[in-house]
Amino acid sequence: MIRFWQKRFSSDIKTKNLAIDKELATLKKELKSEIAKKFASSLAIRMVDSGSCNACEAECNALSNPYYDLERFGVHFVASPRHADVLLVSGVVTLNMLPHLLDAYEQLPSPKWVITLGDCALCHTLPDSFAIAGPVSAHLPVAHHIPGCPPAPDAIIAGLLAFLRKL
Amino acid sequence: MRLIARFAEQLPDGFEVIDIYDSQTQRHALPSTDPAIDSIAARYPAALWFERKMHDDFGIRIANAFDTRPLVHHERFPAVHPMRKEFTPGKLQLAEFKPYKYEAIEGEGIFQVGVGPIHAGIIEPGHFHFSQEGEAILHLEVRHFYKYRGIEKMMEGRDPADGFAIVEKISGNESVAYQIGYLNLLAQAADTTIDENIRKYNAILLELERIAHHLTDLGFIPNDAGFGAALAFCSMLAEDTRRMLHRLAGHRFGFGAVRGETKEIDKDALKKFVAHLRSEMEFFRDWIIDIPSLWDRLDTTGRLATTDAKKYGCVGVVARASGVALDRRDEELYRAHGWRMVTQPGGDVAARFKVRLEEVFVSLDIIEAMMDFAPARMTYDALRDGSYISYVESSLGELMQYLRIEDGKIARYFARDPSFINWQALHLMMHGNIIADFPLINKSCDLSYAGSDL
């Protein structure tokens, strides 16, 4: 432990000076002000994967890494749909997930919005199959779509911003 | 013998069940009316899911089976066998609710805890059913296949070269691995070998994919034990890795990157990245190893004994952390280019953490050694009919793919994701642990839902 701290004090701060480009910084700033205006500085999102390949989830997780750190701007991924403003759905809707997706949507308090994440949600990525119950919009009222396969973290931020501006 | 996969396919005059072991392949011919086969689950416990899936998909009856519950077809899935050739694709409608009987231990004071399919975090859907005695876990049943997309059927009837677009989207964290395995299948069908330059280029992408995946886990495992700083640190490096992959392959997850040709890469940038990541990970190793309160949570938690790992035929990090030296990269090209086997004897969360940490360094060595490839390109036009098997070590473990080509089109595709085996061994890690440690144990294995569900 002592060895570590000796080394630690003699080395640099490990997370400083991350290269964040201007465009992203502007996006984040705008996102923050939009959330402050329209969601009292706190936008709660419940993410549901109804049949993705997990890349969309990985990119969503990447939103909380030090490059993006979305929590700072008031975006929270919450554990229960009952705490959420937005249901963020990724992936095609599989037959096995359909009842659970509808159930999760029911649990969201109104007013509520559905945002789809990634092109699977439109059924544009994989061929159709017997086990796929169609795109998300066939089952839920979709307020906004964030395109990409998967959308990169900055594309997700831009997508959320576009959604907020529409409101 | 280690059971790798057990799956069925339909031939014009009946069915065939194919058992793939590490040392041999057995084929069993079954009639087209009332096909049935004996269960081998008593000898090979991981055969259970294969057999239940086979029944759902093809309607093959498993004689003397002790578990005849459906696997991939859930409560409201209609009573069809969709993998049969005579099944006409079309939209299925949700059917009447049929209750599923969970494996539950019952008794005075014992209660059941159901978790999922939708979990608290940003995770894929799956269900975990616990029988609890207070905090102690008595039994866990893993129930998945919520993401069952019918990938196998999607592939059928297609031109084999078109399969890439589907296999790369089976499991995002293993996309490069799926593509490399699939390229290998096509190379076999074209009766050619993959040029060493192409293999080296592919290997670099595969190792980057592995690093990104391992780094995510190296962050999330300590995070689940309450040490968030590791997540911030590792997720930053994982992001760097994704960006590097994007730079080399044109996609953050390597979609479309493996098609049997090399791309020109910025070798200086890659070298710089490797050197930077190595020094950062050396810092991380020194840092994390000196935090006793963290290791208190990781040590002896979620133990998988070597005998159990072997009995279930576990693969990948899970196997290597239980002392089973099994890695598909154990071959000439990799051995000559920086690969070495990483194992740990403990079988606990700590062992899986250490294996991942060490493997990041191995991957960096491999990338460095594989960088000297020349431009190359291969063709796979004239594909011969036949059945082919390929293996690749994905970030999760041994990935097996099977392809049968008939009249130039895909007649059957099957993928055995490493997770399909490892999920079945997860319940063994629960004995003597409390439910609060489950997320930690689950994360330490970090298995794929999408890959296993297909």
Let me know if residue A42 belongs to a domain.
Answer: yes
In whole angstroms, give the CA distance from residue A108 to residue A86: 8
Nearest to A97 among B147, B252, B283 (CB): B147
Residue A23: what pLDDT?
A: 80
Let me know if residue A100 belongs to a domain.
Answer: yes
Residue B450 to residue A11, Cβ atoms within 8 A: no
Which chain A residues contact residue B121 at CB under 8 A? 77, 79
Chain B residue with the nearest C-alpha to that of A149: B255
Which chain B residues contact residue A11 at CB under 8 A? 283
In angstroms, what separates the C-alpha of A46 from chain B's closest C-alpha? 8
Band of pLDDT at residue A4, cut at 50, 70 and 90: low
| ipTM rounded to 2 decimals | 0.87
B313: left (phi over 0), alpha (psi -120 to 50) or beta: left
In angstroms, what separates the C-alpha of A84 from chain B's closest C-alpha? 12
Which domains does chain B possess? 3-101 (no CATH), 153-443 (1.10.645.10)
CATH of the domain at A129: 3.40.50.12280
Let me know if residue A82 belongs to a domain.
Answer: yes
Residue A48 to residue B118, Cβ atoms within 8 A: yes
What string of pLDDT tens digits covers the 454 residues of chain B?
899 999 999 998 899 999 999 889 999 998 988 888 999 988 899 999 999 999 999 989 998 888 888 898 888 888 888 888 888 767 788 888 888 888 888 889 999 999 878 888 888 999 999 999 989 999 999 999 999 998 998 998 899 989 999 999 999 889 999 999 999 999 999 888 888 899 999 999 999 999 999 999 999 999 988 888 899 999 999 999 999 999 888 899 999 889 888 888 888 999 999 999 999 999 899 889 888 889 999 999 999 999 999 999 999 999 999 999 999 999 899 999 989 999 999 899 999 999 999 999 999 999 999 988 888 888 888 888 899 999 999 999 999 999 999 998 999 999 999 999 999 999 999 988 999 899 999 999 989 999 888 8
Task: Give B315's contacts (C-beta < 8 A, 6+ positions apart).
Answer: B326, B396, B397, B398, B418, B421, B422
Which chain B residues contact residue A91 at CB under 8 A? 147
Let me know if residue A157 belongs to a domain.
Answer: yes
Band of pLDDT at residue A66, cut at 50, 70 and 90: confident
For chain A, say whether B321 makes contact (Cβ under 8 Å): no
Residue B252: what pLDDT?
A: 92
Let me know if residue A154 belongs to a domain.
Answer: yes
For chain A, say whether B58 makes contact (Cβ under 8 Å): no
Question: Which residues span the domain enclosing A130?
Answer: 21-166
Residue A16: what pLDDT?
A: 60
In angstroms, what separates the C-alpha of B139 from chain A's closest C-alpha? 24
Residue B390: what pLDDT?
A: 94
Instruction: State the total domains in chain A.
Output: 1
Let me know if residue A13 belongs to a domain.
Answer: no
Residue B171 to residue A18, Cβ atoms within 8 A: no
